[in-house]
Amino acid sequence: MLVRAGEDLPLVVVSYPRGNIAFAEALRSAICAYRLLSQETRESYADVLGRLPSMVVAVLRDHNQCTCLGNQHPPGTESRMARRLASDTGMRVGEIDLAVESIRRWEPLPLAALAAEPAPADRPVLEEFRFQIAVLAVFLHELEHLAFPDHEEQDVRRRSTSFYAASLREFFSEQLGVKYGI
């Protein structure tokens, strides 16, 4: 699947397991959610986005054997697809992987919640949005590793966790008029 992410993000080629287009749709939805966030929230990744290759291959899996939510593939370790795209297009191509089902179960801020329980009818929508933002946060996290391979994991994680929390606060405030946080 090819995702044109807009002028801020690179062109994303999504590789997903045969028969599981839902994984690709999850990443596409997450990227679309990024464009709906405020400029202030998106600004936290401006320096990262400016250093990315024009095209990124995102390999989606259920889980990673290493138990990570995602990985950036250093130059020389990319898949045959990424190497072929670079050769065919003459573009610099980066590659990351995301463990979609692991991300679905991930709770980066387990103590943060809504002050009031949402109506039962709203819960599926809220959970789906939380999943989209989790996929987006891990996607951006791995893009930062791609752009800045020398950044320390704890610093990269701090930024992606802050982005995740800011995105959820923004959504809950605008869509539901409630606060999200600890």
- Give me the mean pLDDT over the 101-105 stretch: 92
pLDDT of residue 106: 86
pTM reported for the whole predicted model: 0.90
CB-count exposure of residue 114 (10 Å: 0-12, 13-18, 19+):
middle
Helices (H) and strands (E) in the chain, counts: 7, 7
pLDDT of residue 65: 87
- Extents of the domains making up the chain: 2-177
At residue 118, does pLDDT exceed 70?
no
17-76 pLDDT, tens digit each: 998 899 999 999 999 889 889 999 999 999 999 999 999 999 999 998 888 999 999 888
